[in-house]
Amino acid sequence: MTPIVGNISLNLAFGFSVLSIIILSIFLRSGDYRLYLTGRRLSIGVSLLSIWATIVLGYQLIRSNFEVDYVAHYTSRETPLLYKISALWAGQAGSLLFWVFILSLFALTVIFQNKNTHKNLMPWVIIIITAVELFFLVLINFVTNPFLPVEADIIVANGLGLNPLLQNLTMAIHPPLLYLGYVGFTIPFAFGISALINKDTSSLWIQSVRRWSLMTWLFLSCGIILGGWWAYQELGWGGYWAWDPVENASLMPWLTATAFVHSIVIQEKKNMLRVWNMVLIILTFTLCIFGTFLTRSGIMSSVHSFATSSLGPLFLGFVFLILIFSISLLLFRLPIMKSEKKMESFSSRESGFLFNNVIFVVMCFAVFWGTIFPVLTEAVRGVKITVGAPFFNQINTPLGMVLLLLTGVGPLLAWRRTSRQSIIRNFALPASAGLLTAILLLLLNLAGYVVISFSLSVFVLIAMVSEFYRGIKARMSRFGENPITALITIISKNRSRYGGYIVHLGIVFMFVGFTGNAFNEEKEFGIKVGQEEHVGIYRIKLSGLSEAERPNHYAFIANLRITDSQGNFIVNLRPEKRIYNHRNPDPNRRQPHSELDIYSTMIKDIYSVFSGVDKENQTAFLKIMINPLVNWVWIGGYILIFGTMIALWPRKDEV
Amino acid sequence: MKSNNKFKIMLIGVVLVVAGWIGWVSSNPENDKAMVAFVSVSELLEEGIQDRTKLGGIVKPGSIIISESNLLDCSFILEEGDTELPVKYHRTRPDLFKDGAEVIVSGVYTEGVFVADDLQTKCASRYEGDLRDGESYNLEELES
């Protein structure tokens, strides 16, 4: 298996994809079923060849074939096996190949799943998926080829190795998860566009993509949360979200996708919002491509720009092509898409969903605006105005509060119209609990968003718990079940509803965690061995400095003893200052890296960074942060995953 | 029909309010760190800008001076093309900060010194590096 095999596979995949699209188009005109089968098989061939090429590249990485430029750039002999494999998505060419690899897996699944269903939709679904594959195959064949050999006049004895920041288990799985999310939305997009082209106004396509969308949404959510977790554990600035352009790139499709997974429920149940759902899936898919572009083109300088490249114009061209094609198609079909049904009342579940959708989309626009603002101001005024986290926080905090409110309000509303009695019955308890919390917090001298956020969290929490309680009580009185059987039955009888409520609970946990940011404390200082420093209510004592030599780095270790103000022992923390490649004679090649240490509880995290060492004076320079409630964000993430899994789990009658 | 119009007005209202909010924050953010102009060193020196600015450049090799009494205190010279600017920074430095590193600093220019409160480094050259700088052999040299 030489690199040539991979190269030839990619060439063939490119040719097959062009052929497949042409033959399927001829089939649509002539109706000759044999042409459909040929086109379909060619498309399967594209996927298989792309998967094969990815395996070949993986093999080159594992056996460290430094004749391949990509392998020499991102791995070295010393790179552990896991990170040799993860180098597949560490660089630009590899990650684009990996994109096609995932799309190929999805494409095969869709093609085989729908072998005998959706006969009218499938030809266009296959064409659209293959066209997306074609775009990426053009990039990896002609612009940034992962199998390119190193320049002919040198022999590489050892590769450059993988960035130590990326040598971390989280960082090995964060990109694939995000990619599963980005790539996955190709499928609902393909079904939606195919339904449009076929003038299919039924909700059939929605039913067939509901689970795909939810699964993809879950991958995207996990990818984003994991990215934040990595930033918190590794980067040492003490936060998990910086509103960096690349983070925004993943948040934008997440926002529109969240709107989409909500509003397709309305189309499924009421056959309303058909145009709106099309708009959402077009936006989501476009933002996924745009996200890949932002991450990979290096147009925005950020921590994520591990690569800079010439892909920009091609990606932007593709984004515009998708937008122009889908929007004009939608406009063309508008007359048959309009729904006859109307919204009946503001106090209906439909209207709750609609408002949640609007807030998600304007929030996405706000993030988009802030992300491209520097580019805009530079073009219009000639000055590049950079936009920092305070800008995003200021805009998105009130929007987030409205969303949090709707998280609780939406599920309490009935379809069509909620009667006054049931509004009073459903809202009385959660609303008074929220108000009570607000009063208590105001008495504790807290103010502003903190009070709003915590009281809304209590409101949503009580609202969700009382929904479960009502369901359980109804079954207990009707069927005489015990509470636990009743709980299990209501969930299994209505997985998407109760799974959704659990996700909402996860969101509450996350908001509590976000609100904790308002109480962060931070201190940077130098300290001699034996001395003590106060940070917040804690005392930090440097009890010693030690050193250790390990296989690929040298470490200075600060031994910190943390006590509270009364002197009660809490924990020992050992943040490290590491020097990678410490044996390299050229000091410029030695790579310092701060390995931080965190003491984590439900109430707060004590976060320590060892930023510098003065050995002669036995002094360590430290950054200590007290970050309240951070754990709630991660726990919220777990609850979110759990709830989505419940919603995704197939019903018995589906098996 | 009537109720649908009511909805449209309501939704347009929501969108307008949020658009207004975004516009308002864009033109006057609460926090002076929210929006900062990115200028070149020569623009800063010529125009004598007093506001917070952001600058990009290279750390002049050999110019880093770290205070003996406090390792956190550091000064260096930022090079952008032919222009140079002395910079002071008193916080934890990123791991990749060193001679020749590409950095972005934000802060205020006062009395001939740029006092930075934020310093970001671009990725180390090694990881997007030139294979020729690594452990590689030139074939022509090997033959001769």
Query: What is the pLDDT averaged over residues A363-377?
Result: 89
Task: State the smallest CA–CA distance between residue B111 and chain A in angstroms.
Answer: 24
pLDDT at B34: 81
| Positive/negative CA dihedral, A47, A51, A52, A53 | positive
Query: What is the pLDDT averaged over residues A625-653?
Result: 92
- Give A-chain residues touching B92 at CB under 8 angstroms: 236, 524, 609, 611-612, 621, 623
Taking the Cβ of residue B124 and every Cβ of chain A, the question of whether any pair is shorter than 8 Å is answered with yes
Token readout for A504 is: 């909402």
> DSSP letter at B45?
H
> DSSP letter at A523?
E
Please, which pLDDT band fits residue A362 given cuts at 50, 70 and 90? very high
Q: Are strands B135-138 and A154-158 parallel, antiparallel or unpaired?
A: antiparallel
- Give B-chain residues touching A366 at CB under 8 angstroms: 18, 22
CB interface of A with B, residues 353-382, below 8 Å: 354-355, 358-359, 362, 365-366, 369, 373-374
Query: What is the pLDDT averaged over residues A236-263?
Result: 91
Query: What is the pLDDT averaged over residues A295-320?
Result: 65
Query: What is the pLDDT averaged over residues A167-185?
Result: 87
Token readout for B37 is: 């102009």
pLDDT at A359 over 80: yes
Q: What is the pLDDT of residues B77-128, one digit of tens each?
A: 998 888 889 999 988 888 778 888 888 888 999 888 999 988 887 654 334 5
* Between B137 and A507, residue with greater pLDDT: A507
Query: What is the pLDDT averaged over residues A569-591?
Result: 84
CB contact under 8 A, B122 and A611: no
pLDDT at A193 over 70: yes
Task: Compute the distance between CA of residue A302 and CA of residue A323 in angstroms, rounded to an integer.
Answer: 27
pLDDT at A167: 75
Please, which pLDDT band fits residue A252 given cuts at 50, 70 and 90? very high
Rounded to the nearest 10 degrees, the angle between the axes of helix A33-62 and helix A92-113 is 140
Please, which pLDDT band fits residue A194 given cuts at 50, 70 and 90? very high
Judge whether A236 and A609 are in contact, CB under 8 Å: yes
Taking the Cβ of residue B104 and every Cβ of chain A, the question of whether any pair is shorter than 8 Å is answered with yes
Q: Which of B27, B32, B92 is the mutation pick for testing A, counting most A CBs within 10 A?
A: B92
Token readout for A227 is: 């990215």
pLDDT > 70: what percent of chain B? 82
Helices (DSSP H) in A65-203: which residue ranges? 69-74, 81-86, 92-113, 122-138, 169-184, 186-197
CB interface of A with B, residues 165-224, below 8 Å: none
CB contact under 8 A, A374 and B34: no
Give the count of beta carbons closer than 10 Å to the beta carbon of residue B9.
Answer: 10
pLDDT at B3: 59
Please, which pLDDT band fits residue A168 given cuts at 50, 70 and 90? confident
3-state secondary structure of B124: coil
Query: What is the pLDDT averaged over residues A223-244?
Result: 89
- Weakest mean pLDDT among A128-132, A226-230, B139-143: B139-143
Please, which pLDDT band fits residue B1 given cuts at 50, 70 and 90? very low
Please give the residue of chain A at the shortest CA–CA distance from B43. Answer: A383
pLDDT at A441 over 90: yes
pLDDT at B144 over 60: no
CB interface of A with B, residues 134-153, below 8 Å: 150-153
- Give A-chain residues touching B70 at CB under 8 angstroms: 526
H/E run at residue B114:
strand B113-121
Residue A512 has phi, psi (to 5 degrees) of: -60, -45
ipTM of the complex: 0.84
Number of H helices, E strands in chain A: 19, 12
Q: Residue with structure tokens 């659209």?
A: A128
CA distances A166 to A75, A162, A517, Å, are: 12, 7, 26
Task: Compute the distance between CA of residue B85 and CA of residue B3 in angstroms, rounded to an integer.
Answer: 64
Taking the Cβ of residue B87 and every Cβ of chain A, the question of whether any pair is shorter than 8 Å is answered with no
Query: What is the pLDDT averaged over residues A255-259?
Result: 97
Of A200-209, A349-358, A375-384, the range with the highest mean pLDDT is: A349-358
Judge whether A511 and A457 are in contact, CB under 8 Å: yes
Query: What is the pLDDT averaged over residues A208-226?
Result: 93
Which of B7, B99, B139 comes nearest A154 by C-beta? B139
Task: State the smallest CA–CA distance between residue B88 and chain A in angstroms.
Answer: 16
Residue B117 has phi, psi (to 5 degrees) of: -115, 0
CB contact under 8 A, B36 and A385: yes
Token readout for A283 is: 């936006």
Closest by CA to A577, choosing from A524, A614, A632, is A614
pLDDT at A300: 53
CB interface of B with A, residues 7-26, below 8 Å: 7, 10-11, 14-15, 18-19, 21-22, 25-26
Task: State the smallest CA–CA distance between residue B78 and chain A in angstroms.
Answer: 18
pLDDT at A304 over 50: no
Closest by CA to A456, choosing from A525, A386, A405, A415, is A405
* Between A354 and A364, residue with greater pLDDT: A364
H/E run at residue A424:
helix A420-443
Q: What is the pLDDT of residues B3-20, one digit of tens each?
A: 577 778 888 898 899 899
Please give the residue of chain B at the shortest CA–CA distance from A589. Answer: B126
Taking the Cβ of residue B62 and every Cβ of chain A, the question of whether any pair is shorter than 8 Å is answered with no
Task: Compute the distance between CA of residue B77 and CA of residue B80 in angstroms, rounded to an integer.
Answer: 10
Judge whether B115 and B124 are in contact, CB under 8 Å: no
Token readout for A356 is: 């949640």
Query: What is the pLDDT averaged over residues A28-38?
Result: 94
pLDDT at A340: 67
Which of A73, A158, A386 comes nearest B36 by C-beta? A386
Residue A545 has phi, psi (to 5 degrees) of: -120, 130
pLDDT at B127: 46
Task: Compute the distance between CA of residue A105 and CA of residue A121 in angstroms, rounded to an integer.
Answer: 20
Query: What is the pLDDT averaged over residues A538-552?
Result: 90
- Burial classification of residue B49, based on how many CB atoms lie within 10 Å of its CB (0-12 exposed, 13-18 middle, 19 or more buried): middle
pLDDT at A510: 97
Query: What is the pLDDT averaged over residues A307-330?
Result: 84
- Weakest mean pLDDT among A282-291, A466-475, A624-633, B54-63: B54-63
CB interface of A with B, residues 60-99, below 8 Å: 69, 72-73
Q: Which of B71, B91, B119 is the mutation pick for testing A, counting most A CBs within 10 A?
A: B71
Give the count of beta carbons closer than 10 Å to the beta carbon of residue B16.
Answer: 10
Please, which pLDDT band fits residue A373 given cuts at 50, 70 and 90? confident
Reported pTM: 0.92
Please, which pLDDT band fits residue B136 given cuts at 50, 70 and 90? low
Report the Cα–Cα distance between both ends of chain B, in Å, rounded. Answer: 88
pLDDT > 90: what percent of chain A? 59
Task: State the smallest CA–CA distance between residue A84 and chain B in angstroms.
Answer: 14
Taking the Cβ of residue A304 and every Cβ of chain B, the question of whether any pair is shorter than 8 Å is answered with no
- Give B-chain residues touching A152 at CB under 8 angstroms: 139
Taking the Cβ of residue A602 and every Cβ of chain B, the question of whether any pair is shorter than 8 Å is answered with no
Radius of gyration, CA atoms only, chain B: 24
Average of per-residue pLDDT values in chain B: 80
Q: Residue with structure tokens 């020569």?
A: B42
